[in-house]
Amino acid sequence: MKKKPLSKKSVGSGDGYYIKSAGVVLKEPITKTLEKNYMPYAMSVILSRALPQIDGFKPSHRKLLYTMFNMGLLKGKLTKSANIVGATMKLNPHGDAAIYETMVRLSRGYEALLYPYVESKGNFGKFYSRDMAYAASRYTEAKLSPICEEIFDEIEKDAVDFVPNYDNTTKEPVLFPIKFPSILINSNVGIAVSMASSICPFNLEEVLKTTIKIIKKEKFSFLSVLKGPDFPGGGFIVRDNEALKKIFKTGRGSFKIRSRYEVDKENGCIDITQIPYTTTVEAIIDKIILMVKSNKLKEISDVRDETDLNGLKITIDYKRGTNVKNLIAKLFKYTPLEDSYSCNFNILCDGVPKVMGIKEIILNWQQFRQSCVKRRTKFELLRKEKKLHLVLGLNKILLDLDKAIKIIRSTEKDEDVVLNLIKGFEIDELQAEYVCGIRLRNLNKEYILNRVKEKDALKAEIKDLKNILGSEEKINEIICDELKEIIKKYKKPRKTLFLDSVEEFEDVTNEKNLNSSVNLFITKEGYLKKITNLSLRQNSEQKLKEKDEIVISTEVEGDVDILVFSNECKMNKVNLSCLKETKASSFGEFLPAYFKFGEKEKIVKIIYTKSYEGFLLFFYENGYAAKLPLKLFKTNRKKLLNAFYKKSNLVEIFHETKEKDYMLKTSGRKTLVLNSGLVKESSKKESKGIKVLKLTGKSYLKNVLKLEKKEAEKYEQISLEDLV
């Protein structure tokens, strides 16, 4: 009997509700509705979209990279991004915009990863900019990065499982058989339903060394090897060992990141060159403007984005008389120039989301990697055994090659050839098919003997492969050897440095701070290198022009003044903090170009000083010497004209704080030893000083050498009367 719809009077009673134009709507507990309708969605987001798996990739990453591999983009040329996006839609049916954005985030041009998986050409935007949009896919080009060789090397060796794509027309890998724990090397952030994941990046060399030690079950302190996160944008981490230990152990915690800045006192501005990974240039500028309007940052007169091809740069102009140190402290307090990074190492392992510490992540990756190595080894073993089986069949043919040819020639039907060979040589169908497939020109003893010689080598290889499968220790050894090789190929120095305290950061690590210590190198040709201790430890081999040599090599404070005297009686001055840091592998700053020297202008002497103590001793070709206090040259000017006596050519300048002995040599081979104490100090820069050498004819003072105390004792000193 057909049931009648419930009347309006029965609303809320019985088995359901009657709604006009809808009929009967059955009642159902909300928990059951959520279970039926919301839970499948939640599980799909958690398992197939937002959270990374132990190989370090989300499904969208994996579909894109595998498509690029199938397109031959690992070693091939760059191709249009639109081609890649279109091909990826065979695996990822979420629309071209989502696929292209995924590729952008994996690219080198976007600069969001320490080790990008995609090489890019064109405008891919920047992770540190909110408004710098990437170009359309029809304009940009891409291919796989070299590091992807470590991802796809075993993809065709049955190292991982494959599953059908969404329409069952092709297959895709469930995981990548990656040879290193990329889950800890490139950042990964995702928001699922009721849970999220935030994995900060670490330095590849540090992670791989830590992994090797864990696999070998060595006892070690984590912080001694894995020093902490390393972000692609650089910056500074305020060191908190307890917080880092908690993150390493539990997978949860937070730490502070600070920007890197330079103070340009000459132009009255602060240049921000590196910012926290968690913010953008626009967010920082917007916050600074807001703070200026609210009178919390009154010292700032202007802020602008000067980012260009050389990289990120935010310039903050401050007002005259501003206490820069206090302003910087305010900027860190009120703006995202200092930010916190919250860690949540939530990773899918065997289809289950789990928050893990570093050691547990590495152990899970090790287990996954062992599975890949075993499957790869089994694949190789089956291939070798099949080849050996075919070679053994050839060996039987070799016993009577004429018989084999006779059987083939005397067989009337093509389908009977294999059967007759099986009967004639007692080989199986696979071996017979292999023999039949050999070309006529190769049916000679030399060819067959060469193939048969492989028998012993194949047996040895098969034995080794079986030994690997039977020994977990050998599998671990293979994993460690692969990790060591990857370290050699891809290791890079850290980009993010550490600060032991906030105070140390403000006083020491600021590149242009008054108390920062750097290594100063000046060459004979006038090249200046300002190298940090860290950079010098990484590479101490100095690159120089041909026939050039280093004349000054010392460690100095960052605010020393560099005084450059030229043959045109000029003195140019620059504070070392105003010069860019260089590396030992570069030529450095060419001072004549920096000071815009004239065509015939050359450097005579370079002196560095901080306190302007002591004096300068000038020697001239006409036999005169002048002693001038160094304080005469302490000025706010960048250039001094008539910096010394100009009516005679300058031979040499010496900077001393104590009296020294000097040997003067003339063009007429006359030699004189002189103590600088005999030269009276002058108060005017243009002073020619006193005559210290009697010259005859056309002779002139050729050169002056400083003598050590023991050397000076060998020579007879002149008296003051000899100078009159």
| Catalytic (active-site) positions | 139
Which residues, including other chains, have CB under 8 Å from residue 419's CB and lie 6 or more apart? 432
Name the CA dihedral angle for 357, 359, 361, 366, rounded to a multiple of 10 degrees. Answer: -170
Are 615 and 629 a contacting pair, CB within 8 Å? yes
**Cα dihedral angle (262, 266, 267, 271), rounded to 10 degrees?**
0
Rounded-to-integer distance, Cα 118 and Cα 122, Å: 12
SS3 704: strand
Q: Which of 609, 555, 567, 564 is nearest to 589 (CA)?
A: 564
In 470-570, which residue ranges form alpha helices assigned H by DSSP?
472-490, 502-504, 533-538
Distance CA 118, CA 98 (A): 16
- Sorted by sequence, the CB contacts under 8 Å of residue 62 that are 6+ apart come out as 55, 172, 173, 175, 176
The structure tokens listed for 563 are: 């005084």
Under 8 Å CB-to-CB from 133, ≥6 apart: which residues?
125
The continuous run of DSSP H or E covering 530 comes out as strand 527-531
Say how far apart CA 320 and CA 300 lie, in whole Å. 10
Q: Measuring CA to CA, how many Å separate 245 from each of 240, 251, 358?
A: 9, 10, 10
Q: Which helix (H) or strand (E) holds 352?
A: strand 352-355
Q: What six digits make up the tokens of 361?
A: 């992540």
Tokens of 570: 């000029």
Q: Which two tokens stand for residue 3?
A: 């049931």
> In Å, how far from its chain's centre is CA 472?
34
Q: Which of 440, 446, 372 is nearest to 180 (CA)?
A: 372
Distance CA 509, CA 517 (A): 9
Q: What is the Cβ-side half-sphere exposure of residue 397, based on CA atoms within 13 angstroms? A: 32
Q: Considering only CA atoms, which of 370, 389, 289, 359 is closest in space to residue 331?
A: 289
Q: Please name which of 200, 205, 221 lies closest in space to residue 359, comparing C-alpha atoms.
A: 221
Q: Which ranges of 176-296 does DSSP label H, i.e. alpha helix? A: 204-215, 222-225, 241-250, 281-293
Tell me how far CA of residue 281 lies from CA of 156, 228, 305, in angstroms: 43, 24, 7
